[in-house]
């Protein structure tokens, strides 16, 4: 039985399984665990910090959600200039939270592609790590930065990933509690530009005590015949963990421990020719939530909509701090209407 399962898993990953999604068809089959998702009424959405986008979050050691925004002025009282990157901490419950701006030496100026942006953030053993996009200040490349004082000061890596334009981290519990092993996992759409969709996502990892070293990062290549992931140091040997032709761009992955599933929020880019920036879904558009038992899959579809009842924004997170003990009540933090927006959802299990 185990050998048969391994063969089936091997076939699943060695043969492209993601399909090009149509307007109403997700690229992967329905989840075997999640039967559906029910959203709280749209008038229950809480929006704060209006005029900023992105808003990736991580649950830090100080019990706050640490976050970063793009092209905005943050929470009230707002900063005096619009920042390409600003930082904040969020405390409280999802229905009653407060945001406070954290002034930082890593604040960036520059609208749109001209300024660096924070795409993915993670707290590991009291250190914040941040993937910066637009690292070339022209809309391409990714760079790592880290902070040991909760975002007040940052160190920037002296290396970049020119191949990837929008990197994120796989988040676990508070201060990286409950991680699957001693590695930190990251992902990106497989393309250098933050506003250009790709056909697939890739996965990479590094030991959690060596994240700042470029040589420590290795790339998922494929599953072996026993169903185990193979890793390569050579970036040219990277493989795919998710395929969706022309539709892989902005996303965020979080592990939901009660359900024992990785949940991957992915927005659906605008159709070609609709806008200059196909990733702009601040005020209208759709997204999906996929689930899997491992960060490399196999992925299935928990939720999919081409057009949500409100604008989903360019980024969505399911922070573990705001998950119920049984994993059935979650909260989506999303950047719809250029705000730090929060909406409750109920997970229906099979």
**Overall average pLDDT of the 142-171 stretch:** 98
**Overall average pLDDT of the 274-289 stretch:** 81
Rounded Cα distance between 246 and 272, Å, is 9
pLDDT at res. 275? 66
**Overall average pLDDT of the 145-171 stretch:** 98
Question: Which phi and psi angles does 274 have, rounded to 5°?
Answer: -70, -45
pLDDT band at 24 (very low <50, low <70, confident <90, very high): low
**Overall average pLDDT of the 72-84 stretch:** 96
pLDDT of 284 over the 70 cut = yes
pLDDT at res. 148? 98
pLDDT at res. 114? 85
pLDDT at res. 282? 77
The number of beta carbons lying within 10 Å of the beta carbon of residue 14 is 13
β-pairing verdict for 251-256 and 167-171 = parallel
**Overall average pLDDT of the 48-72 stretch:** 96
pLDDT at res. 111? 80
pLDDT of 301 over the 90 cut = yes
Comparing 219 with 277, the larger pLDDT belongs to 219
pLDDT of 51 over the 60 cut = yes
Q: What is the mean pLDDT of the chain?
A: 92
pLDDT at res. 222? 97
pLDDT band at 13 (very low <50, low <70, confident <90, very high): very low
Q: Which residue has the tokens 């040589």?
A: 215
pLDDT of 11 over the 80 cut = no
pLDDT at res. 283? 80
Rounded Cα distance between 36 and 47, Å, is 25
**Overall average pLDDT of the 40-48 stretch:** 98
CATH T-level assignment (fold) for domain 2-21+28-349: Tachylectin-2; Chain A (2.115.10)
* Domain residue extents for the chain: 2-21+28-349
**Overall average pLDDT of the 242-270 stretch:** 96
**Does the pTM exceed 0.85?**
yes
pLDDT of 21 over the 50 cut = no
Q: Which residue has the tokens 């809480």?
A: 46
Long-range contacts of 305-311 (CB under 8 A, 24+ apart): 306/23, 306/24, 306/268, 309/39, 309/42, 310/42, 310/45, 310/336, 310/337, 311/281, 311/282, 311/283, 311/284, 311/285, 311/336, 311/337
Q: Which residue has the tokens 């530009």?
A: 193
pLDDT at res. 269? 86
pLDDT of 16 over the 50 cut = no
Q: Which residues of 305-315 are buried (b: 16+ CB within 10 A; e: fewer)?
A: bbebebbbbbb
pLDDT of 35 over the 70 cut = yes
pLDDT at res. 350? 94
pLDDT at res. 280? 78
Rounded Cα distance between 125 and 177, Å, is 9
**Overall average pLDDT of the 124-128 stretch:** 98
């Amino acid at each position: 039985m185990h050998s048969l399962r391994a063969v089936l898993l091997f076939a699943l990953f060695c043969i492209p399984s993601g399909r090009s999604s149509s307007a109403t068809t997700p690229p992967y089959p329905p989840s075997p665990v999640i039967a559906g998702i029910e959203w709280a009424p749209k008038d229950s959405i809480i929006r704060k910090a209006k005029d900023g986008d992105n808003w990736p979050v991580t649950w830090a050691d100080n019990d706050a959600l640490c976050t970063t925004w793009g092209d905005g002025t943050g929470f009230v009282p707002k900063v005096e200039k619009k920042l390409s990157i600003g930082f904040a901490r969020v405390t409280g419950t999802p229905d009653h939270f407060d945001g406070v701006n954290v002034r930082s030496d890593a604040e960036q100026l520059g609208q749109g592609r001209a300024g660096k942006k924070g795409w993915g953030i993670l707290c590991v053993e009291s250190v914040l790590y941040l993937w910066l996009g637009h690292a070339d200040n022209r809309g391409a490349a990714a760079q790592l930065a880290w902070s040991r004082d909760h975002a007040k000061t940052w160190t920037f890596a002296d290396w970049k990933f020119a191949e990837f334009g929008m990197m994120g981290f796989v988040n676990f519990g508070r201060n990286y509690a409950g991680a699957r092993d001693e590695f930190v996992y990251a992902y990106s759409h497989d393309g250098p530009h933050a506003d250009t969709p790709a056909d697939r996502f890739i996965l990479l990892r590094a030991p959690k005590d060596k994240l700042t070293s470029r040589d420590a990062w290795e790339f998922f290549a494929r599953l072996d015949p026993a169903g185990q992931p193979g890793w390569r140091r050579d970036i040219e040997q990277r493989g795919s963990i998710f395929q969706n032709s022309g539709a892989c761009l902005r996303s965020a992955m979080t592990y939901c421990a009660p359900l024992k599933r990785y949940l991957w929020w992915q927005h659906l880019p605008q159709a070609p020719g609709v806008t200059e920036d196909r990733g702009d879904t601040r005020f209208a558009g759709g997204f999906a939530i996929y689930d899997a038992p491992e960060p490399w899959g196999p992925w299935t579809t928990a939720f999919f909509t081409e057009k949500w009842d409100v604008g989903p924004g360019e980024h969505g997170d399911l922070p573990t701090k705001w998950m119920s003990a049984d994993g059935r009540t979650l909260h989506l933090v999303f950047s719809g209407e250029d705000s730090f927006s929060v909406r409750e959802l109920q997970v229906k299990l099979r």
